[in-house]
Amino acid sequence: GDSVTQMEGPVTLSEEAFLTINCTYTATGYPSLFWYVQYPGEGLQLLLKATKADDKGSNKGFEATYRKETTSFHLEKGSVQVSDSAVYFCALSERSGSARQLTFGSGTQLTVLP
Amino acid sequence: DTEVTQTPKHLVMGMTNKKSLKCEQHMGHRAMYWYKQKAKKPPELMFVYSYEKLSINESVPSRFSPECPNSSLLNLHLHALQPEDSALYLCASSQSGTPLFFFGPGTRLTVL
């Protein structure tokens, strides 16, 4: 079945540092890929998405490129802020029967220190 | 309206109580989902409804009973829960043919 492997956390960075969170996937077809963010005590927010190979998703300074050849969708940000502290989930979506399903990675806790 | 709403935000219940969680969306989405999320873990799929019919039940115990009364509303009926069922319960919806999922803010459930 489909699966998502995500970089283990926790990750602790200083403000303005460069962030990379690795994500690789296994899928039978052509999935869409997502990064979700969850701030403490809140639900899931879609951070960015890519629906086909070589697409680049971007939002709030975060970027990720859909790399089919390496089955990867790594999240990057050039300069993190304290407010970026959250748990980040990589996910893929494929059609399964009559409805799509989301498969999540294990999540990476990011803490940014001032 | 691009929002999924969930009520209540917080729920505390005893093991003998019966309660219900409610989820609503008015985006015309025909697929709706219940997920369970423990702290610092990814959401786990519980149920999928497609066109108001239950299409996936991920071997969830019968003390959780989903219901989809119409295309905008999804309920999760709870009965005789265990303390280990304490978690954040997330509802999501998606439109057929598109990969985008919209999540609600969740109901934080505590079972005493």
Residue B100 reports pLDDT greater than 90: no
Write down the pLDDT at residue B98. Answer: 77
Q: How far apart are CA B9 and CA B18, in angstroms?
A: 17
A43 and B41: CB-CB below 8 Å? Answer: no
pLDDT digits (tens, 9 = 90+) for B15-56: 888 999 999 999 999 999 999 999 889 999 999 999 999 988
Cβ contacts of A55 within 8 Å, gap of 6 or more: A65, A66
Q: How far apart are CA A64 and CA B52, in angstroms?
A: 35
Write down the pLDDT at residue B95. Answer: 85
Q: DSSP secondary-structure letter at A67? A: B
Give the gap in angstroms from C-alpha A5 to the nearest C-alpha of chain B.
Answer: 12
Residue A1 reports pLDDT greater than 90: no
Note whether A16 and A80 are within 8 A (CB).
Answer: yes
Write down the pLDDT at residue A96. Answer: 64
Note whether B15 and B80 are within 8 A (CB).
Answer: yes
Q: How far apart are CA A38 and CA A40, in angstroms?
A: 7
Q: What percent of chain A has pLDDT over 70?
A: 96
A1 to chain B, any CB pair closer than 8 A? The answer is no
Taking CB atoms and an 8 Å cutoff, what residues of chain A touch B42?
89, 104-107
Write down the pLDDT at residue B1. Answer: 65
A104 and B42: CB-CB below 8 Å? Answer: yes
A11 to chain B, any CB pair closer than 8 A? The answer is no
A-B CB pairs within 8 A amount to 64
Best probe of the A interface among B4, B6, B40, B49, by most A CBs < 10 A, is B40
pLDDT digits (tens, 9 = 90+) for B46-88: 999 999 999 888 889 999 999 999 989 999 999 999 999 999 9
pLDDT digits (tens, 9 = 90+) for A10-64: 999 999 999 999 999 999 888 999 999 999 888 899 999 999 999 999 999 999 9
